[in-house]
Amino acid sequence: MKILGIETSCDETAVAILEIQASTFKIVSNVVSSQVQTHAKYGGVVPEVAARKHAENIMPVIIEALKDVLPSQILFTRRKFQRNLGGQAKTWGSKSAFNNTLTGVNPNGVAPVRTRQTTKSAASEINAIAVTQGPGLITSLRVGAEAARTLSCVWNKPLIPINHVIAHIYSNWLTPIREIRNPKSEIRNKSQILNSKFPNINFPALCLVVSGGHTLLVLMKNHGKFEIVGQTLDDAAGECFDKTAKILGLGYPGGPAIARQAEQWKSAQTSVGVSASLRKSKIYNLKSNIQLPRPMLNSNDFNFSFSGLKTAVLYKMRDMKSASCGIGADMSAEVLTKAEGTRRFTASIFINQMAYEIQNAIIDVLVAKTIRAAKKYNAKTIMLGGGVAANKELRKRFQEEIQNLKQPPHSPPVPRQVGEQGEIEGVKKQNLTITNQQLKLFMPETSYCTDNAAMIAIAAYFNPKKISWKDFEPDPNLMIK
């Protein structure tokens, strides 16, 4: 069977086609149109802008995804037009290309021919339509919802509504694939060459879903059986990354920006080019100078809170300004000269150091609470999901914790040996698992951590709650049931 998935919950317009046969699957196409560059100038996602971009991109993305499953003559058009996508012009065919994709056109390009044969040729390739129902931005969700309803109606195919958070969990069932990038647009098209087997994930599984809009721990007892055991009481971890990055003047999106600066700080600590006087300075010593709170780290529950960390970063910046260290609103200032001797440093050094501590503070809480919850609920598997799960330091820390869980009490911890992709060397890369006597750790390929439609399609396969297109409505506050 083939499932067409559609995802438009926030600022990614995504369509994928998943083919499943017995216990194997093939990702026929997986197309994502990102709006990151569009929203970067605003410092975050603007709902109205996101919805407009979804409306512009949804048809071209659907057509791009269908190219791998439909005969070439179905996509033939007579006239050409240029559609602007992600700031780049790309030819998508005639203005009626989307209708032509559904119904077929005359091979001579004279006019669309709406025949039962061509309609059947297009529709017979797809068995079901899966679409994100929520949670998310309602204006964004509605674009994907109307596209899915239209396809379901025209093709007479069942519709499968999917919870976006649950879909992030099911990204762990997708194995890494070869990625093909189109350098002329923001569209990313990924295709699986050979069939892959579903991974063997044992239940109960504890799932940490962490992104810009969500931070929660979900106990997965089996397919379709979920229970929230912990969640953020205020800001999500990804939102904390974004807001603290803005305070530091690092731009949007904040997670990758914080990670880059943190890595620069780590490199500087071991760099032979750093002067001895700077190494001895208090500002250079991370542990003795910059210390941020780990909110709710030792609470008796598995909930999270990151608003206090954001406030602590703001106050730390104010303290630096009041100390006349030269940190002002302009974060691009050159070398600061107000401090003397060993306390002489640059704004960039301070920013990098702050980024390092922010990242560690967030990761410390996420890892500690997840491990404690896994022990309490006797989980056999830990899974990660969501955009923040692509963070290399977070992935590395989870790998270390799982490896060390069953180490003898007096044995040294596993050393941190990080490869090019931020993974511990020797870890099986096919399904990114680390196994010990009690726990398995699953982490999606980083390209599946961010929003995509392949995870929507795979979630629909394991949770095939089919409905009529007439009964479907998006829900921005959809809860896990």
Torsion over CA: 352, 353, 356, 362 (sign)? negative
**Rounded CA separation 341/336 (Å):** 12
**The CA-based dihedral angle spanning residues 40, 165, 445, 307, taken in that order and rounded to the nearest 10 degrees:** 50
**Rounded CA separation 162/464 (Å):** 9
pTM above 0.85, yes or no: no
Confirm if 238 and 249 have CB atoms less than 8 A apart: no
* Cross-strand bridge partners of residue 193: none
Whether the bond into 412 is cis, omega within 30 of 0: no
Q: Phi/psi at 206 (nearest 5 deg)?
A: -100, 125
Torsion over CA: 236, 240, 246, 250 (sign)? negative
Q: CA 72 → CA 76, 101, 330, distances in Å?
A: 7, 10, 54
* Cross-strand bridge partners of residue 467: 159
Q: Can you say how many angstroms the Cα of residue 124 is from the centroid of all Cα atoms in its chain?
A: 32
The three-state secondary structure class of 39 is helix
Domains of the chain: 2-200+448-471 (3.30.420.40), 205-379 (3.30.420.40)
Confirm if 194 and 464 have CB atoms less than 8 A apart: no
Q: Can you say how many angstroms the Cα of residue 223 is from the centroid of all Cα atoms in its chain?
A: 22
Torsion over CA: 360, 362, 365, 369 (sign)? negative
Burial of 80 (0-12, 13-18, 19+ CB in 10 A): exposed
**The CA-based dihedral angle spanning residues 134, 138, 144, 148, taken in that order and rounded to the nearest 10 degrees:** 70
Confirm if 7 and 49 have CB atoms less than 8 A apart: no
In a structure prediction context, what are the per-residue pLDDT tens digits for the chain, which is 481 residues long? 999 999 999 999 999 999 998 878 999 999 999 999 999 988 899 999 999 999 999 999 999 999 877 655 444 432 332 333 333 323 333 334 444 444 433 333 333 333 344 445 557 889 999 999 999 999 999 999 999 999 999 999 999 999 999 999 999 999 653 333 333 334 455 544 356 788 889 999 999 999 999 999 999 999 999 999 999 999 999 999 999 999 998 989 999 999 999 998 887 776 644 555 444 444 444 453 688 999 999 999 999 999 999 999 999 888 776 654 544 444 433 333 344 333 445 567 888 889 999 999 999 999 999 999 999 999 999 999 999 999 999 999 999 999 887 665 555 555 443 333 333 333 333 344 444 457 899 999 999 999 999 999 999 999 999 999 999 999 999 999 8
Burial of 222 (0-12, 13-18, 19+ CB in 10 A): exposed
Copy the structure tokens of residue 246: 């803005």
